Amino acid sequence: MENPFKHINQPLKEVPEELKAKVMSDIAMAKLLMDLAKLFSVDPAKIIEQSIKKRKE
């Protein structure tokens, strides 16, 4: 079995442009889904913080 740590100091290989484009597209889609989930989800810590501030007022 070959030692994978021997490849650490090797120069990086160029990635095909179509693969780069696909990865960037997937990342953009994941970020969009995370933003949408955050938009429609409840953050309990934020709700508690706001209710404590309102009580103090």
In this prediction, residue 44 has a pLDDT band, given cuts at 50, 70 and 90, of confident
Enumerate residues 6+ apart whose C-beta is below 8 A from 3.
none
Q: Does pLDDT of 14 surpass 80?
A: yes
Asked, for residue 21, whether it belongs to a domain, the answer is: yes
Asked, for residue 22, whether it belongs to a domain, the answer is: yes
Whole-number mean pLDDT of the chain? 90
| CA-based R_g, the chain, Å | 23
| Residues of the domain holding 42 | 15-56
Asked, for residue 19, whether it belongs to a domain, the answer is: yes
In this prediction, residue 25 has a pLDDT band, given cuts at 50, 70 and 90, of very high
In this prediction, residue 28 has a pLDDT band, given cuts at 50, 70 and 90, of very high
Total count of domains within the chain: 1
In this prediction, residue 56 has a pLDDT band, given cuts at 50, 70 and 90, of confident
Integer Cα distance of 56 and 14 in angstroms: 59
Asked, for residue 7, whether it belongs to a domain, the answer is: no
